Amino acid sequence: MSVIRDDDIVFSHVNSNRSSAAVTGAFWSALSTLIPTVLTFAVFVVTSRILQPQDFGLVALSFSIVSFAASFGPTAFGEAIIQRTEIRRSHLDTIFALALVFSFLIYGILCLAASTIAAYVGHGEVTYLLYIMGLKVFFDFTAVVPNAVVNRKMSFHLVAVRTAIATVTSGCISLTLVLAGFGLWALAIAQIAATAASCAAAFWGAGWLPGFHLKRQSLNDLLHYGFFASGTRFLQTMSLDNLIIGVFLSPAALGVYNFAKRLFDMINNVIAGGLTSVTHVLLSSLRSEPKKVREAFLMATFGCSLVSYPVFIGLAAVADDAIPTIFGSHWVEAIWPVRFYCVIGLMSGIGYVQASLIKSQGEMDWWFYYQLARNVLTLLTIAVLYPFGVTTIVFAIMVEVLLFWPLTGWKVSKHIELGVGEYLLQFLRPSLACAGMVGAIFLLEESLVHWSSYSRLAAEIFVGGIVYCGLIFALCRAQLNVLIGSIKQARKRKTNSTVKVEPAAS
């Protein structure tokens, strides 16, 4: 029996049938985001109809405090594990130990400061919400290494299983408790149950358990990438926007803001979340092959825009019917914030793919400074505009996103050696198809003004979808043929490789 030494490479990058693994991974990643998000959305609809913006605001405020504290941890070192060419056992054990120490430290600080924070924001419930929701730090931090191992091996079916377990657990607990009258506590307990289930599933999927192979050199190997990745994660998760709105406006205003943002996040996770995890690993493994990097990136960009554009533009078009009809009339104030977030979604979905390319090419530091500039501007915008209300804040954030987006487009065009104009042409045909879809929806809305809101909304979604699909098949036939051909080729290679490894009959 061979013995695995500390200096042995334990998890190498996938270096054969990568396109097949990527296509399969895209399927499983889509499944791991689509099904849980559908379940989450169903729970979101039920809880939104029962609970008030004030309840959502208090939970969002507590979650923001926990997220801010957790953002100081080394959770993004998992990205360094994915990106590095060779990973040894000491890398995994060292990062796990680091994450574990930070989890105890941060949770302890949260518990000690909970009553003081609650007194400052003026809501006593925040004390106990922090005790409960602070446990999320422990589960999230201990899952950093096993999650990285699963993604590095491109075992995306295991990611799907992990996510499904967490979502079903959270959904069942949340619905049971909210229907039993536990109110906002149902939301808090359900989030902790989800992270605990996800953590357990991550260890099971990785097939790895921590040891005591701790090395300073192993930490140094991952320090540069991990530092900037953690800085970027800090900017993404610190949730200072929620803190400012919750403290300086009101929990109800934060509830409206968080409602629009959460709806945006759920849609974005379905569209880009799974694809992002696949593209990051795939593009990292293709770093030495520029032509394949360009082909993979453009294919991912086309696929993302194909789905994200009609969903976000369609939601913006039907928001005045959809929000009060689905979630209840007490969320009418969220209609325009949702519409503005839909415009952000057009940029964000593509932005995730752009981020995967930039980070996979080793420019984590550039991405960090870009995110730093954006976040500083966003926080300044909220700090200046909060007296004017949530709608004005979200509108200003939308303008900021539109102004910053060309910068990443320029950076991407340099990496894939493609002109900015030629790169932007990738989005022209999906945009034209969406314009036709919106025109059909507005005509239908005027024609069916006397219908009930449920019937009108269903008709708008159905007709809009038919018009968009028809225009896409007419305008993007060549790109669709390439996409379908790539999927068929990947499936064929996978089938052939499976046949080759079958043992001969005795």
Kindly report, residue by residue over 396-445, the tens digit of the pLDDT.
999 998 988 888 888 888 877 777 777 777 788 889 999 999 999 999 88
The tokens describing 158, both together, are: 């295991």
pLDDT, averaged per 10 consecutive residues of the chain (506 residues), comes to 45 50 52 66 83 86 88 80 77 89 94 92 89 92 86 65 73 85 86 83 80 82 75 71 83 89 83 61 64 76 84 92 89 94 86 79 80 86 90 94 86 79 81 93 88 90 93 84 62 50 41
Q: How far apart are CA 350 and CA 26, in angstroms?
A: 16
**Secondary structure class of 85 (helix, strand, coil):** coil
Closest CA to 121 of 239, 291, 229, 243: 243
pLDDT of the residue at 498? 44
Residue 162 domain flag = yes
Residue 500 domain flag = no
Cβ proximity of 130 and 189 under 8 Å: no
Residue 391 domain flag = yes
Cβ proximity of 225 and 83 under 8 Å: yes
pLDDT of the residue at 314? 93
Q: How far apart are CA 424 and CA 334, in angstroms?
A: 31
Domain membership of residue 303 as a residue range: 18-492
pLDDT of the residue at 315? 93
**Secondary structure class of 52 (helix, strand, coil):** coil
Q: How far apart are CA 177 and CA 190, in angstroms?
A: 9
pLDDT of the residue at 68? 87
Residue 419 domain flag = yes
Cβ–Cβ contacts within 10 Å for residue 499, how many? 8
pLDDT of the residue at 207? 78
Residue 499 domain flag = no
Cβ proximity of 297 and 373 under 8 Å: no
Distance (Å) of CA 112 to CA 109, 118, 222, 246, 333: 5, 12, 32, 21, 36
List, in order, residues 6 or more apart from 48 with CB less than 8 Å away. 56, 259, 327, 328, 331
pLDDT of the residue at 504? 42
Number of domains in the chain: 1
Residue 502 domain flag = no
pLDDT of the residue at 154? 63
Q: Please give the model's pTM, rounded to 2 decimal places.
A: 0.69
Residue 1 domain flag = no
Residue 5 domain flag = no
Kindly report, residue by residue over 290-305, the tens digit of the pLDDT.
777 777 777 778 878 8
pLDDT of the residue at 1? 34
Q: How far apart are CA 445 and CA 331, in angstroms?
A: 21
The packing angle between helices 89-121 and 216-237, to 10°, is 30
Phi, psi of 419 (to 5 degrees): -60, 150
User: Whole-angstrom distance between the N-terminal and C-terminal Cα of the chain?
Assistant: 26
